[in-house]
Amino acid sequence: MWTDSIGRRRFLGGLGAGAVLASTSRAQNPILPVRKPRVVVIGAGAAGLTVAKALANAGNSVVVLEAKDRLGGRIDTRMLGGAPQDMGASWVMGTSMNNPVSEYLSLKGVSLQNDSVPYHMFEEGTGYLPQQQLNQLWSRFVNFTNMLPTLRSTLGPNANVNQGIELFLDTMGYGGISRERTRYMIQTEAETGYAGSIDDLSLEYFWEDSTFNGQVAFPQGGYVQLIDNLAEGLDIRLNTPVVSIDHSSRGAAVHTPFQTIYATYVVVTVPLGVLKSGAIQFNPPLPAAKTNAISRLGMSGMEKVVLTFDNAFWSSVNDLYFKSNVDGEFSYIKDMTQFSGTPTVVAFSGGDFAAQMQTQPASQLTDRLLAVLGSLNGSQPPVPTGSHVTRWGSDPNFGGSYSYWAVGSSPADNVSLAVPEGRLHFAGEATNELYFGTVHGAMLSGLREAGRILNSNVTVPDLL
């Protein structure tokens, strides 16, 4: 569990202007005929590239099919303001070497920059709160997590986090502005960590996922370093959406708009949001255990607004809890200047506000963030040199940012999602019952499925 403030996960993401950094040079014309590969991997994110790399290194013939025109999936490093900026995953969540991301990047010689900066809290209409008050709000959040067993036994297994917060606030007797700020703190920790709305997050399983030890850190040069290293030497077909899969105990036929590819094994790594949408047809259909898990698990929204400037004109952003007058708006703002190398601010929004952002024009969101930055020290914000608003929630290839335990779901659903159907295997962050919603969870799921197919234990050094 992270003890350094904003929860243990602290990620929040985007798509927009700027050039995609992930190399697309390995893309091949999807119309070219393909010789029968042994394994088809669907999706070129962290999970897909991990399983593909492990299987290819073990001597298998592997083809990766990716719907988009770039690699990386929910890892999306783009040039903005002349520097690499991560619009999806940005933090390595624990630098200990049992985190596969840390181990792999270390073996590949990619440095990590530890993220340890001061925190502040700014309340719209009030201004900066004293540090002591922020410390008190943090300790109330910790108290909330300590009281989870009691809250659960009172509210039952079908309660959401919002109900838990209300009961906690009542029990502690917090009223007025103290209640409002405590509620903001718990909501922000919940919705920036898990990204689901507090009305949907399961109280029963809140804060029950696993974490790795060590600092949180940023890969130098962006998360694209992980993707480019994993992708090296693999046969990857970009712009190749899979529309249906015929599967049996002997193998599978994978259909794209351009061709049908036959395989001994197929590994499906598309996001939970894509499985929910039914964009891929499975013949025969997936069993009820899997389809029920797909519908019960939640797929969250977490969106980023990223602005770059010539000068860091703002004061005291560092890591900023922003309590907006609009519920959930930019609830966490981070100054990325020292990590990206150019004056950069990233505003994160999860929960219901992230859903509302899908229909708001990018200019409206960037103007509002500019106004917020100006209000911090009463200055007139300059014109940004770059801006980007992410739209993970409305991109059909993702259908959201990452999975979470919604009311009614449980870790058993992640396990059901991971169960192979004959020669059809499933990987991806949502199939990891311990580390869902993370890059390391995705990588571990890729190692797991490579291990199942090879019938051996596959570890990070097998990716080299």
Ligand X SMILES: Cc1cc2nc3c(=O)[nH]c(=O)nc-3n(C[C@H](O)[C@H](O)[C@H](O)COP(=O)(O)OP(=O)(O)OC[C@H]3O[C@@H](n4cnc5c(N)ncnc54)[C@H](O)[C@@H]3O)c2cc1C
Taking the C-alpha atoms of residue 60 and residue 162, their distance in angstroms, rounded to an integer, is: 49
Tell which one of 269, 340, 344, 414 touches ligand X (CB under 6 A).
Answer: 269
First to last CA, the chain: 30
Residue with nearest beta carbon to ligand X: 13
Among positions 20, 274, 294, 355, the unique one binding ligand X when judged by CB under 6 A: 274
Is there binding between residue 194 and ligand X (CB under 6 A)? no
Segment interacting with ligand X (CB under 6 A) among 86-94, 176-184, 246-254, 414-422:
86-94
Of positions 428, 447, 448, 462, contacts ligand X by CB under 6 A: 428
Which C-beta is closer to ligand X: that of 123 or that of 189?
189
- 402 part of the interface to ligand X, by CB under 6 A: yes
Cβ atoms < 10 Å from Cβ of 52 = 29
Using the contact rule CB under 6 A, the part of the chain among 121-129, 311-319, 361-369, 433-441 near ligand X is 433-441
- By the rule CB under 6 A, 191 interacts with ligand X: no
CB closer to ligand X out of 75 and 190: 75
Q: Which one of 105-113, 164-172, 390-398, 453-461 is the stretch in contact with ligand X (CB under 6 A)?
A: 390-398
> Considering the rule CB under 6 A, would residue 42 count as an interface residue with ligand X?
yes
Sole window of 198-206, 309-317, 356-364, 435-443 interacting with ligand X (rule: CB under 6 A): 435-443
Query: Residue by residue, what is the 3-state secondary structure of 378-433?
Result: CCCCCCCCEEEECCHHHCCCCCCCCEECECCCCHHHHHHHHCCECCEEECCHHHCC
Q: Considering just the CA atoms, what is the radius of gyration of the chain in Å?
A: 22
The backbone torsions φ and ψ at residue 77, rounded to the nearest 5 degrees and listed phi first, read -95, 125
How far apart CA 219 and CA 464 sit, in angstroms, is: 18
Instruction: For residue 306, state whether it binds ligand X (rule: CB under 6 A).
Output: no
Q: Which is nearer to ligand X, 244 or 318 (CB)?
A: 244
Member of 5, 6, 8, 13 binding ligand X (CB under 6 A)? 13
From the list 56, 80, 112, 302, which residue makes contact with ligand X (rule: CB under 6 A)?
302
Q: Contact between 401 and ligand X (CB under 6 A)?
A: yes
Which CB, 274 or 336, lies closer to ligand X? 274
Of 197 and 269, nearer to ligand X (C-beta) is 269
**Should residue 279 be labelled a site residue for ligand X when binding is judged by CB under 6 A?**
yes
Spatial CA neighbour of 67 closest among 93, 100, 45: 45
3-class SS letters over the chain: CCCCCCCCCCCCECCCCCCECCCCCCCCCCCCCCCCCCEEEECCCHHHHHHHHHHHHCCCCEEEECCCCCCCCCCCEEEECCEEEECCCCCEECCCCCCHHHHHHHHCCCCEEECCCCEEEEECCCEECCHHHHHHHHHHHHHHHHCHHHHHHHHCCCCEHHHHHHHHHHHHCCCHHHHHHHHHHHHHHHHHHCCCCCCCEECCCCCCCCCCCCCEEEECCCCHHHHHHHHCCCEEECCCCCCEEEECCCCEEEECCCCEEEECEEEECCCHHHHHHCCCEEECCCCHHHHHHHHHCEECCEEEEEEECCCCCCCCCCEEEEECCCCCCCCEEEECHHHHCCCEEEEEEEHHHHHHHCCCCHHHHHHHHHHHHHHHHCCCCCCCCEEEECCHHHCCCCCCCCEECECCCCHHHHHHHHCCECCEEECCHHHCCCCCCCHHHHHHHHHHHHHHHHCCCCCHHHHC
- 15, 22, 56, 89: residue in contact with ligand X (rule CB under 6 A): 89
* Residue 48 sits in the site that holds ligand X (CB under 6 A): yes
The window from 132-140, 246-254, 265-273, 322-330 that contacts ligand X (CB under 6 A) reads: 265-273
Q: Which stretch binds ligand X (CB under 6 A): 26-34, 68-76, 140-148, 328-336?
A: 68-76
Site stretch for ligand X (CB under 6 A), options 127-135, 283-291, 396-404, 412-420: 396-404
Q: Is 449 in the site for ligand X (CB under 6 A)?
A: no
- Name residue 322's beta-bridge partners: 122
Stretch that binds ligand X, among 39-47, 164-172, 361-369, 453-461 (CB under 6 A): 39-47
- Minimum gap (Å) between residue 428 Cβ and ligand X: 3
Q: Of the listed pieces 41-49, 196-204, 311-319, 452-460, which binds ligand X according to CB under 6 A? A: 41-49
Binding mask 113-132 for ligand X (x = CB under 6 A): --------------------
Nearer to ligand X, 167 or 294 (CB): 294
Is 215 one of the binding residues for ligand X (CB under 6 A)? no
Of the candidates 8, 26, 53, 68, which one interacts with ligand X according to CB under 6 A? 68
Give me the 240-259 binding string for ligand X, x by CB under 6 A, dash otherwise: -xx-----------------
Contact 18/388 with Cβ under 8 angstroms? yes
* Contact residues for ligand X, defined by CB under 6 A: 11-13, 42-48, 65-68, 73-75, 88-91, 93, 241-242, 269-271, 274, 279-280, 302, 304, 392, 397-398, 401-402, 428-429, 437-440, 442
